[in-house]
């Protein structure tokens, strides 16, 4: 059986285009072919998780059965009672498979866990979100079929963007209006073509052409060199265009299927400060962390009056958020340092914003200061990506990245 | 109720801009952030007696004083 990873090559897009055709025609005639959508979702999941990757396919099935049962049981419980410890237990159970998958390589010399599969992180984000909203009483009904559709929505399964359950269900059940769909189709196709430019031209150029050259030169020069600086920029560009390109494909295909999956990037390198950057970079992830970790933690601390100072609460929140994000990327020193670096950067940024507010009258604000802010932010971000890349591990500790 | 919400917002943002322009975008203008949002939810809970869980808070539905006032009036 053939195996294809999502959005990797022209053949995938060709098959995708043909498979989406009936959906498009149906939509233009005001019909949503849900059964057909399910059918091709299944086919594409089989294409990604079947054949030589069948072990991942089995892992995916087991994971889904486990999580959907967990959601169902917690929902049934929540209808009658609402103990806090049961809620924590449900969240812990939901993330245990992901934790195992993340810890295994660190313990077993890089060997991947057999319960892992492509996209497990993103599915876990979706599951935790559902459990938290059931706890809040916002998700009132448990509909296994819709939960499955949401979790296994194939355009976004491997790497997001991370949609929200209630938003997804609204789109899924919405009846089609031709004018509105034409607009979506228009945008969807445009995003896919922009994605081609990003992923297959720009990311290819930076990642497959420039990166090997600058990394070789940086290694042969050793230590801190201008080649290392060059590597930092090249890697940052590759990271952005590769991931933004991928996200554009996922959003574009979702649009064609009538689902308005949220955007992941909004010109991140135009950010004026680190806070602004996180509102523009991998947005569905940073908003997930904001809404389900940071705000909940801050709410908990304030409500129980655990810490008095507003500034300390915010900083505790930032450290928690970015440490978890670091660990989520993987158990290596550079991912964790990357998280800590961003926590420090955002705390500094907050302090600066407070200072600026106080001394507004004396701090100039013009085109030049704006350009300077963008320049400083861009370089701070690129430096954080250099940490993230693991290249320093290769350079200074002769590790592998 | 309207005045009460405006007062809460003025205290939170430390600026009287909110009272002057009821359609100012609180997040884009930097007047409110996640931290301020949580404080807002807690104030609404203690002063107006309305309970908004964090996950109910969809930024685009709460981003101006007018929208917040409408939400609060709706929930009472």
Report chain A's mean pLDDT, rounded to a whole number.
94
What span, in angstroms and rounded, lies between the C-alpha atoms of B28 and B6? 18
In contact, A382 and A271? CB cutoff 8 Å: no
Verify whether the Cβ–Cβ distance A303 to B42 is below 8 Å: yes
What span, in angstroms and rounded, lies between the C-alpha atoms of A32 and A25? 10
Long-range contacts of A24-32 (CB under 8 A, 24+ apart): A24/A185, A24/A256, A27/A176, A27/A181, A27/A185, A27/A258, A28/A178, A28/A181, A28/A182, A30/A175, A30/A176, A30/A177, A30/A178, A31/A176, A32/A175, A32/A176, A32/A258
What span, in angstroms and rounded, lies between the C-alpha atoms of B28 and B32? 8
Portion 118-177 of A in contact with B at CB < 8 A: 132-133, 136-138
Of A137, A302, A357, nearest to B38 by CB-CB distance is A302
Q: Which residues of chain A have pLDDT under 50?
A: none
Q: Does B42 touch chain A (CB under 8 A)?
A: yes
Using a 10 angstrom Cβ sphere, with 0-12 exposed, 13-18 middle and 19 or more buried, the burial of residue A69 is exposed
The upper half-sphere exposure of residue A162, i.e. CA atoms within 13 Å in the direction of its Cβ, equals: 22
Across the range B54-68, mean pLDDT stands at 89
Q: Which residues of B touch A313 (CB under 8 A)?
A: 35
Q: How many contacts (CB atoms, under 8 Å) link A and B?
A: 42
Among B55, B58, B60, B61, most A C-beta atoms within 10 A, so best to mutate, is B55
Among B38, B46, B63, most A C-beta atoms within 10 A, so best to mutate, is B38
Nearest partner of A388 among A341, A318, A333, A338, judged by Cα = A338
**What's the token pair of residue B34?**
């996640």
> Which pLDDT belongs to residue B76?
77
The residue of chain B nearest to residue A300, with distances taken between CA atoms, is B38
* Cβ-based neighbours of B33, under 8 Å, separated by 6 or more: A275, B27
The upper half-sphere exposure of residue A143, i.e. CA atoms within 13 Å in the direction of its Cβ, equals: 11
* Cβ-based neighbours of A340, under 8 Å, separated by 6 or more: A319, A322, A323, A326
What span, in angstroms and rounded, lies between the C-alpha atoms of A47 and A63? 18
CA distance B66 to chain A (A): 23
What span, in angstroms and rounded, lies between the C-alpha atoms of A190 and A9? 18
Prior bond of B2 cis (ω within 30°): no
Among A167, A266, A283, A302, most B C-beta atoms within 10 A, so best to mutate, is A302
> Which pLDDT belongs to residue A147?
97
The residue of chain B nearest to residue A167, with distances taken between CA atoms, is B58
Verify whether the Cβ–Cβ distance A138 to B53 is below 8 Å: yes
Nearest partner of A124 among A106, A154, A101, A107, judged by Cα = A101
CA distance A265 to chain B (A): 17
Verify whether the Cβ–Cβ distance B38 to A295 is below 8 Å: yes
Phi-psi region of A260 (alpha: psi -120 to 50; beta: other; left: phi over 0): beta
Domains of chain B: 2-75 (1.10.1200.10)
Active-site annotation of A, residues: 329
In contact, A75 and A147? CB cutoff 8 Å: no
The residue of chain A nearest to residue B37, with distances taken between CA atoms, is A295
ipTM score for this prediction:
0.90
Q: Which residues of A touch B37 (CB under 8 A)?
A: 295
Does residue B55 carry a pLDDT above 90?
Answer: no
The residue of chain B nearest to residue A305, with distances taken between CA atoms, is B42
The residue of chain B nearest to residue A353, with distances taken between CA atoms, is B30
> Which pLDDT belongs to residue A400?
63
| Neighbour count for residue A364 (Cβ, 10 Å) | 6
What span, in angstroms and rounded, lies between the C-alpha atoms of A127 and A283? 18
């Amino acid at each position: 059986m053939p195996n294809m990873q999502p959005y990797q090559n022209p053949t995938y897009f060709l098959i995708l285009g043909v498979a989406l055709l009936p959906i498009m025609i149906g939509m233009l005639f005001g019909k949503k072919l849900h059964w057909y959508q399910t059918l091709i979702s299944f086919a594409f999941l089989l294409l990604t998780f079947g054949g030589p990757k069948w072990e991942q396919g089995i892992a995916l099935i087991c994971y889904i059965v486990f999580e959907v049962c967990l959601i169902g049981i917690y929902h049934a419980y929540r209808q009658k009672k609402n103990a806090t410890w049961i809620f924590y237990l449900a969240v812990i159970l939901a993330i245990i498979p992901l934790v195992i998958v993340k810890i295994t390589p660190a313990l077993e010399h890089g060997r991947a866990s057999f319960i892992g599969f492509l996209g497990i992180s993103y599915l876990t984000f979706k599951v935790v979100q559902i459990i938290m909203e059931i706890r809040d009483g916002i998700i009132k009904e448990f509909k296994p079929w819709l939960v499955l559709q949401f979790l296994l929505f194939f355009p976004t399964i491997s790497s997001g963007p991370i949609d929200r359950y209630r938003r997804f269900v609204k789109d899924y059940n919405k009846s089609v209006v031709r004018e509105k769909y034409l607009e979506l189709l228009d945008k969807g196709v445009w995003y896919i073509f922009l994605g081609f430019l990003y992923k297959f031209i720009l990311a290819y150029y930076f990642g497959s052409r420039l990166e090997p050259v600058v990394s070789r030169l940086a290694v042969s020069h050793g230590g801190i060199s201008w080649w290392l600086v060059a590597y930092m920029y090249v890697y940052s560009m590759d990271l952005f265009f590769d991931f933004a390109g991928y996200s554009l494909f996922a959003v574009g295909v979702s649009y064609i299927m009538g689902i308005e999956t949220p955007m992941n990037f909004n010109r991140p390198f135009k950010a004026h400060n680190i806070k602004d950057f996180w509102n523009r970079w991998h947005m569905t992830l940073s908003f997930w962390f904001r809404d389900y970790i940071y705000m909940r933690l801050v709410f908990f601390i304030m409500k129980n009056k655990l810490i008095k100072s507003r500034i300390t609460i915010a900083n505790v929140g930032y450290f928690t958020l970015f440490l978890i994000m670091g660990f989520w990327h993987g158990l290596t020193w550079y991912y964790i340092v990357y998280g800590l670096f961003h926590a420090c950067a955002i705390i500094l940024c907050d302090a600066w914003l407070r200072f600026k507010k106080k001394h507004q009258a004396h701090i100039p604000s013009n085109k030049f200061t704006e350009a300077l802010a963008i320049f400083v932010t861009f370089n701070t971000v690129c430096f954080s990506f250099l940490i993230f890349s693991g290249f320093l591990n290769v350079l200074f500790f002769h590790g592998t990245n | 109720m309207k005045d009460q919400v405006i007062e809460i917002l003025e205290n939170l943002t430390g600026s009287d801009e909110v009272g002057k322009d009821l359609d100012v975008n609180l997040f884009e203008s930097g007047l409110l952030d996640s931290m301020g949002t949580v404080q807002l939810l807690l104030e609404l809970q203690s002063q107006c007696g309305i309970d908004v869980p964090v996950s109910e808070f969809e930024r685009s539905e709460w981003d101006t004083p007018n929208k917040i006032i409408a939400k609060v009036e709706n929930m009472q």
